[in-house]
Amino acid sequence: MRILVTLLVAIALYALVAIRLEPPEPRKERGPGSTFCAQRAYEILESLLADELPHSMASPANAAVRGRLLEQLEGSGYEPKIQSAFAYADRRGQLKVHNVIATLPGSSPDGTILLNAHYDSVPSGPGASDDGVAVAALLEVARIARASPRLRNTVVFLFDDGEEMGLCGAKAFCREHPLRDAVDLVINFEARGTSGSSLMFETSGEDAWLVNAFARACSRPVTGSVFTTIYEALPNDTNLTAYKKAGIPGLNFAFIGDPQNYHTTNDDLAHVTLGSVQHHGDNALELVRSLGDADLELQRATSRGDAVFFDVLCAFVVWWPAHLSQPIALALLVMTVLFALKAARKAGWRSLFRASTCFVGGVAFPPALCFGGAFILTQMGVIDRNLVGQTTGYSAVYWVLSLVGLWLATRFSKVQVDAWSLWTVSWLTYGVLALAASSLAVGTSYLFIAPLLIAVLSAFRDAVSGRQPGFGMTILPVIAAGIVWFPLHQLVPVALGVRQGWIIGACNALFLITALTATANIAPTTLKRR
């Protein structure tokens, strides 16, 4: 029964995370002019793209899109300016970028917020999602902001050119535009697919105040400092790279669903997801309203340094100063060691050793089977070496392989394992990983700290009294682990592809070992030696 309940809880939580990771329901009714409407933004996008021709930098189609962009801004009451700047030279001669800039002056400005999206596309596609959706969303936000009560701070809307050719427009703005020195922060909107939620996946500079502002402003946050850590390790660039090099702090948003459409002819109006438009627009409008009336200097002063952060079921953001991760992890590890010593005196060191053999198998077998499964599927031609997107079926296969690996680990042990011993081994490992992560890659530390904190707190009473761990005590950390791990499980295959089976298996294993204790009393590990 414990195995069944644990499995059902995990499946229900996985489904809940998947549902919450879907973008919000798009608003199709025009309604009040002060709310963001995805349908209205989509109509703007239709007018911008018109014939849906690719519109890369320096092309006639690019100039046509720019003309329509200027018309939209002028229709909303702005007086947009064009920044023309040298980009580079090729066989066509000297090429220039043409950035479109519209400014909404503040009532008593002591800060300037820059919202950025690029209007050029790759030569191979019309760029409806990359980055037309963001352009249309910001145009709608600009219209709403212009028609709303005047904000305290100045808001600048930058629609840059030449991003696909090497961040040319953003570099030109940072290099020579006079507004560059006035900008306090930049909020960039991108896409690496045609669907999905607007993920806040990158920050820059000392980001604690930015994370705090994002947490306060956005009603449906999708984020995690693990994503910023992963992104920093990748060779990818967006406009925020140029601003980071210029010393301007910022936040970066993108949706990444259906990446097989990215930079292809399928990045067209037919593949645009209105929910993604809605989420981009909601995030932009909420940040404009919150930061537009905020004392930016005070926010920077009250939240210094870097942050570790994650969302809880896309409802709210939990964050803490990054420098606290190490002492928190150390304190939790010490508590776990004390519980381990108590368990060792009661159950014996032999029981801890037996639990360790079961645990090692539970960690090793899932990634090994997933690696083997990915290799076999690739050799059979089921998984193309360049496959991206369409990951749901493959993720299910990897979950089955991971569960088989965990089952094999418990079957091969065939020893009687004390529940406290298995709890101790599992959470001691999490404590060591939490300490290592907080030292080496602090953005990933919450993946271990959050479940370990719940495990220690829920175990305290039973550990002090010497009772065997109850089911409620062991299932709570499983729920905590699911909340922080499952978004990663669902987004990593989309972001990195499904051929990296061992990575997916390792992520699965790190969640599954938290469930070992919850099923310890009747799992195969309790079978006596034949």
pLDDT (tens digit, 9 = 90+) per residue, 81-109? 999 999 887 777 788 999 999 999 999 87
Is 312 part of a structural domain of the chain? Answer: no
What would the mean pLDDT of 3-27 be, rounded to a whole number?
91
pLDDT of residue 499: 63
Instruction: Supply the mean pLDDT for the chain.
Output: 88
- Does the structure show a pLDDT above 80 at 231? yes
Is 318 part of a structural domain of the chain? Answer: no
| Burial per residue of 87-116, b for 16 or more beta-carbon CB atoms within 10 angstroms, e otherwise | beeeeeeeebbbbbbbbbebeebebbbbbb
- Does the structure show a pLDDT above 50 at 521? no
Closest CA relative to residue 306, chosen from 249, 252, 254: 249
Name residue 463's amino acid: A
Look at 508 and 292; give whichever has higher pLDDT.
Answer: 292
* Interatomic CA distance for residues 23 and 455, integer angstroms: 31
Q: From 258, 278, 297, give the residue that closes a domain.
A: 297
Residues 338 and 293 in one domain: no
List the domain range (segments joined by +) for residue 466. Answer: 2-16+324-526
- Does the structure show a pLDDT above 70 at 390? no
Q: From 278, 297, 316, give the residue that closes a domain.
A: 297
What would the mean pLDDT of 30-35 be, rounded to a whole number?
74
What would the mean pLDDT of 322-332 be, rounded to a whole number?
97
pLDDT of residue 4: 82
Ranges 10-24, 218-232, 330-344, 488-502: which has the least confidence: 488-502
How is 141-189 classified by DSSP, letter by letter?
Answer: HHHHHHHSSPPSSEEEEEEES-GGGTSHHHHHHHHH-GGGGG--EEEEE
Identify whether the C-beta of residue 476 lies closer than 8 Å to the C-beta of residue 519.
no
* Interatomic CA distance for residues 181 and 145, integer angstroms: 23
- Does the structure show a pLDDT above 90 at 323? yes
Is 392 part of a structural domain of the chain? Answer: yes
Task: Work out the pLDDT band at 498, boundaries 50, 70, 90.
Answer: low
Is 489 part of a structural domain of the chain? Answer: yes
The dihedrals phi and psi of 500, each to the nearest 5 degrees, come to -85, 65
Take residue 302 and report the two structure tokens written for it.
């009250």
Identify whether the C-beta of residue 89 lies closer than 8 Å to the C-beta of residue 74.
no
Number of domains in the chain: 2
Residues 226 and 254 in one domain: yes
- Report yes or no on whether pTM surpasses 0.85: yes
pLDDT of residue 525: 37
Residues 246 and 125 in one domain: yes
Task: Work out the pLDDT band at 523, boundaries 50, 70, 90.
Answer: very low
pLDDT of residue 347: 64
Residues 405 and 453 in one domain: yes
Residues 287 and 335 in one domain: no
Residues 392 and 427 in one domain: yes
